[in-house]
Amino acid sequence: MRCGFNTTVNSTPPSRLTINLDAIAANWRLLDARHPGQTAGVVKANAYGLGATYVAPKLFAAGCKHFFTAHLAEALTIRPLVGQAQVMVLHGVLPGEAEIFVQHDITPVLSSLPEVALWGAAAKRLGRRLPAFLQIDTGMSRLGLSFEEIERLFNNPDWLTGINIIYVMTHLMNAEIAEHPSNAAQYQRISQFQRQFQAQFPDMKLSLANSSGLFLAPQFASDLARPGAALYGINPTPGQANPLHPVVALHGKIIALRDIKPGTEVGYNGVWAAQRPSRIATVAVGYADGYFRSLTNRACGYFDGTPAPLVGRVSMDLTTFDVTEIANLNLGDSLELLGPHCTPDDLARAANTNGYEVLTALGARYERHYIGAVPAT
Ligand SMILES: *Cc1c(COP(=O)(O)O)cnc(C)c1O
C-alpha cells in the first residue's frame, strides 16, 4: 500500500541511496580476521546513518556477537534483531533506566562513580549480580572514570558489590595517526588499571581498538575491538590505500537541464559564472539531504565515470553541475554523487570534514535501496 506524501501518482523516484549490506558484512569479517579476539559492531547513530535495523541483523548473521549503541533507545531498537548477542550502551545508565537495561538484557558502559552507584543499587534491589563495562578516561576527558575516581573505587571495593565488570574499556584519541605517542600512553594506562583490579576481577577483559586501532600494533586490538567507521567503508588508515569494501552509492536525480551563455551566473550569490557556453544539470539533492553547503564549487558528480564539476552554491534541495562535457544527458538521469568515483572520504575532504559526518548526515529523502538484506524472522 502506498501512503504519505510520496504517493503522488506517477511521481519520479527521488535520488537513490544504495547501501551494500554484503559489503558491510565482508568488512566486518575482514576486520575480525585481523586479530584473535572478538570484534563488535558499533551501530550508534542509526549505524552511522545507514540504517541500524538493516545493519545489525546483517552483522549478527555474519557472526558478530557484540553491538554498541550510544543511546538506550538505539539499543532497544536493535535488541530483538540480534538474538543472544550482547548489546552495550556507550552513554551508560541514567537514573530510572536500570530496570529497562535489565529487562531487555542490555549492558551499560559505566563511565562515572554515580553510574557505578546506580548500577550497584539496581543489583541490590533485584538481588542479582549485573554485568557492566567500565570505561576509563585515559586521555580524552570526555567519558570515563578519571584517575581520582579510580583511586577512590580501588579504596572502596564494596562500591562494586553486585557488579560484574566483564570488560574495562577506553577510547583512543589519535588511533588514525599510527605514530602518535598518545596511543602507547593510553595503552599503558589501561593496562595499569587492569593490573590494579586483577585481584577483584580476575576475568575482566580489555576493549580498546576502534576501526583505526585495529591497524595499530597487535596488542591494541585487545579482547574486543569496537569498529564502526571501517564497517561502513571509511578508510581507517588515512594516507594509505583503503583496505575495506565500499558500502554506499548516492545517485542524484537530474530534474532540469539548461544551456547558458558565457558570463551567466549560477545559483545564490552567483559564486560561479560560465566561462564558455555551458550545460547545467540541476540535481534534486541539497544541504537538507546532507550534501553539505561547504561543497559549493568543490565537488563533482559523475556520469559513466565522466566528472561534472559542482558549480555554484549548494542550496537546500538543489545542486547544480556543469555537464557540458557529457553528451546525451536526459531529464530523470542521475549523477553519481557518492560511489566508486567519489567515496565518502573524498566528499569529506572536499567539505573539510570526515567520512563519519558525511555518512551520518545522509538525508531522509532518498529512496534507500539495500543490497543483501537479511529476511526478517
Ligand atoms: C564511535 C565509537 C567507536 C567506533 O569508532 P570508529 O572510529 O567509528 O571505529 C568505538 N568506541 C567508542 C567509545 C565510540 O564512541
Q: Does 248-371 match 21-232 at the fold level?
A: no
Distances (CA, A) of 358 to 36, 234, 254, 258, 280: 32, 10, 21, 29, 25
58 Cβ inside 6 Å of ligand 1: no
Residue 13 pLDDT: 67
By C-alpha distance, which of 198, 240, 355 is closest to 292?
355
CB 331 within 8 Å of CB 257: yes
By C-alpha distance, which of 280, 333, 356 is closest to 46?
356
Residue 85 grid coordinates: 548477542
State the residue for C-alpha cell 536525480. Answer: 253
To which H or E segment does residue 253 belong? strand 248-260
Compute the distance from residue 226 Cα to the ligand 1 centre, in Å.
6
The DSSP code for 271 is -
Residue 40 grid coordinates: 563488535
320 Cβ inside 6 Å of ligand 1: no
For residue 54, give the 3-state DSSP assignment: helix
Q: Where are the domains of the chain?
A: 21-232, 248-371
Question: Can you tell me the distance from the alpha carbon of 137 to that of 141, in angstroms, rounded to the nearest whole number?
Answer: 6
171 Cβ inside 6 Å of ligand 1: yes
Q: Pick the atom of ligand 1 nearest to 44's CA.
A: 1
By C-alpha distance, which of 325, 320, 324 is closest to 256?
320
324 Cβ inside 6 Å of ligand 1: no
Residue 287 grid coordinates: 544541504
The answer to whether 268 is a known catalytic residue is: yes
Q: pLDDT 10s per residue in the chain (377 long)?
A: 344 454 455 666 689 999 999 999 999 999 999 999 999 999 999 999 999 999 999 999 999 999 999 999 999 999 999 999 999 999 999 999 999 999 999 999 999 999 999 999 999 999 999 999 999 999 999 999 998 999 999 999 999 999 999 999 999 999 999 999 999 999 999 998 888 888 888 899 999 999 999 999 999 999 999 999 999 999 999 999 999 999 999 999 999 999 999 999 999 999 999 999 999 999 999 999 999 999 999 999 999 999 999 999 999 999 999 999 999 999 999 999 999 999 999 999 999 999 999 999 999 999 999 999 998 76
226 Cβ inside 6 Å of ligand 1: yes
Compute the distance from residue 39 Cα to the ligand 1 centre, in Å.
12
Instruction: Count Cα atoms within 13 angstroms, Cβ side, for 255.
Output: 14
Compute the distance from residue 351 Cα to the ligand 1 centre, in Å.
22
Give the residue whose CA is nearest to atom 4 of ligand 1: 228
What φ, ψ does residue 341 adopt, rounded to 5°? -90, -20
42 Cβ inside 6 Å of ligand 1: yes
Q: What is the DSSP string of 73-91?
A: HHHHHHGGGSTT-EEEETT
Residue 23 pLDDT: 98
Q: Pick the atom of ligand 1 nearest to 169's CA.
A: 13
234 Cβ inside 6 Å of ligand 1: no
Which of 44, 54, 253, 287 is flagged as catalytic?
44
Residue 153 grid coordinates: 573505587
Question: Can you tell me the distance from the alpha carbon of 330 to that of 332, in angstroms, rounded to the nearest whole number?
Answer: 6
Compute the distance from residue 227 Cα to the ligand 1 centre, in Å.
6
Residue 87: strand pairing partners: 67, 106
98 Cβ inside 6 Å of ligand 1: no
Query: CA 190, 195, 200, 205: dihedral to nearest 10 degrees?
Result: 50
Q: Pick the atom of ligand 1 nearest to 175's CA.
A: 7
Q: Pick the atom of ligand 1 nearest to 135's CA.
A: 13
pTM (predicted TM-score): 0.95
Helix intervals (H) in the chain:
21-32, 44-48, 52-62, 72-78, 98-103, 113-126, 147-155, 181-196, 344-351, 355-361
CATH number attached to the domain at 248-371? 2.40.37.10
Residue 310: strand pairing partners: 321
136 Cβ inside 6 Å of ligand 1: no
300-303 and 66-69 beta bridge pairing: unpaired
Using alpha carbons only, what angle is made at residue 141 by residues 136 and 144, rounded to the nearest 5 degrees?
25
Compute the distance from residue 238 Cα to the ligand 1 centre, in Å.
16
Question: Can you tell me the distance from the alpha carbon of 122 to that of 151, in angstroms, rounded to the nearest whole number?
Answer: 23
Question: Can you tell me the distance from the alpha carbon of 67 to that of 80, in angstroms, rounded to the nearest whole number?
Answer: 12
Given 3.40.50.1820, 3.90.76.10, 3.20.20.10, 3.40.50.10860, which CATH number is that of 21-232?
Answer: 3.20.20.10
Question: Can you tell me the distance from the alpha carbon of 29 to that of 72, in angstroms, rounded to the nearest whole number?
Answer: 26
Give the residue whose CA is nearest to atom 13 of ligand 1: 171
Question: Can you tell me the distance from the alpha carbon of 119 to that of 322, in angstroms, rounded to the nearest whole number?
Answer: 58
Q: Which amino acid is at 331?
A: L
Compute the distance from residue 289 Cα to the ligand 1 centre, in Å.
24
